[in-house]
């Protein structure tokens, strides 16, 4: 595919997820985890329901953010829904490596549309935007595990 066509596809996928984010909204019966990116003002509230088998049964988010932050949250929610917490955390690590410019095998197969955010590595100031939702996921999982141990 020609480079200009690939760049156009990249922009189209990001704009689509940003304009029409998947899993956007609140999730009843869950306590949101809020995180922000003070560098550019992005804020996400992540709602996560993990069932007793450790599978992410439902996920949603709301907040405000730039196109990359919103698109990344949408993509992340698509990727991890239905996965075990262990698998979701591994995918989060792969995504982090990808946006930092590291080579990640089977990127599109593992990360779906989130693989289109690999170009963020060329703009270091945007890495925090792209990883905000994924970092919120990691923190929400840890808090969920701590709450489960406390019961």
Rg of the chain over all Cα atoms, to the nearest angstrom: 15
Q: Domain containing 21 — which CATH number?
A: 3.90.1010.10
Interatomic CA distance for residues 2 and 20, integer angstroms: 27
CA dihedral sign of residues 131, 91, 67, 126? positive
The whole-model pTM stands at 0.91
- pLDDT, tens only, 32-44: 999 999 888 999 9
Nearest of 77, 76, 64 to residue 23 by alpha carbon: 77
pLDDT per residue, tens digit, the chain (151 aa), is 455 665 777 788 899 999 999 999 999 988 899 999 988 899 999 999 999 999 999 999 999 999 999 999 999 999 999 999 999 999 999 999 999 999 888 888 999 999 999 989 998 989 999 999 999 999 999 888 877 766 5
Tokens encoding 133: 């939702």
Domain enclosing residue 87, as ranges:
3-150
- φ, ψ at 67 (rounded to 5°): -60, -40
Residue 130, CA atoms < 13 Å, CB-side half-sphere:
26
Count of structural domains, the chain: 1
């Amino acid at each position: 595919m020609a480079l200009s066509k690939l760049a156009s596809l990249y922009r189209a996928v990001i704009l689509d997820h940003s304009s029409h984010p998947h899993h956007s909204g609140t999730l009843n019966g869950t306590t949101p985890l809020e995180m922000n990116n003070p560098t550019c003002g992005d804020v996400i509230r992540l709602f996560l329901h993990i069932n007793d088998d450790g599978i992410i049964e439902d996920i949603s988010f709301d907040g405000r953010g730039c196109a990359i932050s919103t698109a990344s949250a949408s993509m992340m929610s698509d990727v991890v829904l239905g996965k075990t917490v262990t698998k979701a955390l591994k995918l989060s690590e792969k995504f982090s490596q990808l946006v930092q410019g590291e080579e990640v095998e089977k990127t599109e197969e593992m990360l779906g549309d989130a693989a289109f955010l690999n170009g963020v590595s060329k703009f270091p100031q945007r890495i925090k935007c792209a990883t905000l939702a994924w970092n919120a996921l990691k923190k929400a999982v840890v808090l969920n595990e701590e709450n489960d141990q406390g019961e």
